[in-house]
A and B are shown apart, each in its own frame.
Chain A
Amino acid sequence: MSFAGPPRLRPPRHPVDPRARRWWTAQALLTVSGPMLLTAVTLLALCLLFFAGALPWLLPLLAVVLVAPACAYAVLMPRRRYAVHAWEVGTYSLYTAGGWLWQKRRVAPLSRVQTVDTLRGPLQRRYGLTTLTVTTASTAGNIRISGLSDADADTLAEHLGRAAQDTVGDAA
């Protein structure tokens, strides 16, 4: 292979399921943004009830420290993730991209695949999504694809399982 300029690693072909955006939003609301907003509301209520005088400085403080980051996280994180997360099975390798602020692209040869697991959490089940985990002998070679549709995950797991079986013995 010879390229004119320096080579570029193109993003993987298949984006994850669009429903993943809603799943990530729900996750954000449950784990980070929700508790932060709830804290802000509680503090505001306590302030109104007992120290109404503190309102002029507490209101902007809460807005900057809790409300704005919580909203930004719930809105930005799922979008960025959806833009980044993708996967592709090539002839020889499995290729995935993930993350949002810290982004990761990993390529692992199909011949090194040891196990293929699928995971459907209660929240994921509501959106019909599956997380697929592929392990190799090296923990730094393990691959996780989250936000796959159930059907995609099943086909992929079957395909990867077959590929791993075809090349058994090379995995160690």
Chain B
Amino acid sequence: MSAPAPDVWLRPDARTLLVHCGWLLPPLGSTTLTALATGGRFPPSALFTLAAVAVSFAAITGIGHLRWSRTRYRVTSDAFELRGGVFSRTLRTMPLSRVRGVDLTATPLHRLLGLTVLRASGTGGAETVLNAVPRAEAARLRTLLLARATPGRAANPELSSVDWRWLRYAPLTFWVLGGVGVAAGTVYRVLDGVGIELWRVGFVQDAFTEFGRSALWLTVPAALVAVLALGSVGALVLYVENWWGYRAAWTDADTLTVRRGLLTTRSVALERSRLHGVLLREPLLLRAAGGASATAVAGGLGSSEEAHARGALVPPAPRHEALRVAVGTLTGSGARDEHPFDGVPLTPHPRVALRRRVVRGLLFAVLPGSVALLVLGALFTPVLLHLAWVYALVTTAVTVLLARDAYRSLGHALAGPHLLVRSGTFSRDTLALERRAISAWTLTTSPFTRRAGLVTLTAAVAAGEHGYHVRDMEPGAALALACAAHPGILEEFLEPA
């Protein structure tokens, strides 16, 4: 598409109308499934579904057409303007100086039609969505919208790209077990929706009776292994879908672009001025296998959950690789000086913090289960009483181990222009936060921390999750850290002890 004259109002692509029909696929698919399953005879419920689908189709297509015909956009010399609205006319003006990032995404349907959704995010979480324009037009718009960033090539642009050997880290995530549950639930609901009752199907019933009659000590572990295998396959598929074609690179001196995705491609442009830190994440299993992933702490990526998904910098990968990307993100293009993610020794927190973690574990993990087993055992069978003390012993041991690990993780330090904070055991997160970006300090106490003589320090930044905690510090140390990390905020309210 040749670049149109500026200040001319443009329309989204007409093919967008087809995208709006995409939601038809699941109901039509399930109806087809019903037709196949019942041999062409539709039960009344399916006819109802079909009628409802037809009515909604008419309504949605009508509204979609209206919306499309009323949507116009243009990029003037200083603003991105979007006109639209179905029942009322709206005009959205986003000053180019406020644009923080431009995100291009495409669902499989969009890709089939050669379209892309453009999402311009601005200060304060404002977002303007243009659905949908041809790919070339989207690229042109992105250049225009990010024109305020000073151009120029980075010295060493590419930070990282996908390496399929990393796939071995994919099964080390929650999705191995959770994913199977989600998938099973979805299948059940889909079948239920088309009128197939899973429990009445002879094959399923037989399987369950067989299972109950078989040697349980053999079949239960076998079933567990099967679930794990299934989950691992699911995690692999998810990894491939999320990280296909992954490439993180400085596309110009001030923009870090992360592209990824197989069916849904997403491309997130992070401006250096909005990039305030990096979070290195090492979940328990991944850490055991020497892996890690990293997320950017950047402004203008939406709410904190969205920011987390959109700020992903590197998939679960070898730790040194994740570290390299994290350092490259923090220091600009070439990792000139080794950023001391590991080099700086972190200051540990008071020993009381360990006691708090042990007590918390005992209170929330050991106690409820043991008491429940004891009560049930006293009421029904002494077998459960034995189970209760075994459970109490095992969980206490695990709790103490995890609490010690959590305490070892706790730490903070100042490393050049960054504040380093580490915490967590299920997911050990190391945060490197730009000290200059901290805009407020908060000291929080609860009845429990007051008793232990501790305080939690929170750094406020206009990026990522907005509040980043340094938990369980000595009050004096917390104040000293706050003053050293970003001087000039709370000094005037200090007094000698």
Contacts and interface: CB of A to CB of B under 8 A. Distances in A.
Interface of A: 1, 3-10, 12, 88, 90-93, 95, 101-109, 112, 136-141, 143, 172
Contacts of A6: 475-477, 479-480, 497
Interface in B432-482: 439-447, 450, 458-463, 466-468, 475-477, 479-480
B492 to A, nearest CB: 4
Given A6-B477, A9-B475, 15 more contacts: A6-B475, A7-B483, A8-B495, A9-B479, A10-B495, A12-B493, A92-B492, A103-B450, A104-B443, A107-B442, A107-B490, A136-B462, A137-B124, A138-B463, A140-B468
Nearest to B477: A6
Contacts of B458: 140
B98 to A, nearest CB: 9
A171 B78 CA distance: 21
B444 to A, nearest CB: 5
Nearest to B493: A95
B445 A3 contact: no
Contacts of A3: 494, 496-497
B483 to A, nearest CB: 8
Contacts of B40: none
Given A7-B476, A8-B475, A136 B439 contact: yes
A101 to B, nearest CB: 6
A137 B497 contact: no
B352 to A, nearest CB: 16
Nearest to B467: A140
A76 to B, nearest CB: 12
A106 to B, nearest CB: 4
A107 B475 contact: no
Interface string B99-132: 0000000000000000000000001100000000
Given A6-B480, A10-B493, A92 B488 contact: yes
B460 A141 contact: yes
A95 B490 CA distance: 8
A141 B494 contact: no
A172 B462 contact: yes
B187 interface: no
A20 to B, nearest CB: 21
Interface of B: 123-124, 299, 439-447, 450, 458-463, 466-468, 475-477, 479-480, 483, 488-497
A80 to B, nearest CB: 11
A107 B496 contact: no
Contact of B467 (A5, A90, A103, A138): A138
Given A1-B494, A5-B497, A93-B489, A138 B442 contact: no
Nearest to B304: A139
A137 B495 contact: no
Contacts of A8: 475-476, 479, 494-497
Contact of B460 (A12, A90, A108): A108
A90 B475 CA distance: 21
B493 A101 contact: no
Which of A104, A105, A136, A138 has the most CB atoms of chain B within a 10 A radius of its CB? A138
Contacts of B496: 3-5, 7-8
A102 B445 contact: yes
Nearest to A13: B493
A3 B479 CA distance: 12
A139 to B, nearest CB: 5
A76 B443 CA distance: 23
A93 B467 contact: no
A7 B483 CA distance: 10
25 contacts: A1-B491, A4-B496, A5-B476, A7-B476, A7-B483, A7-B497, A8-B494, A9-B479, A90-B493, A101-B447, A104-B444, A105-B444, A107-B490, A108-B440, A109-B439, A109-B488, A109-B489, A136-B440, A136-B462, A137-B124, A138-B440, A138-B467, A140-B442, A140-B458, A141-B466
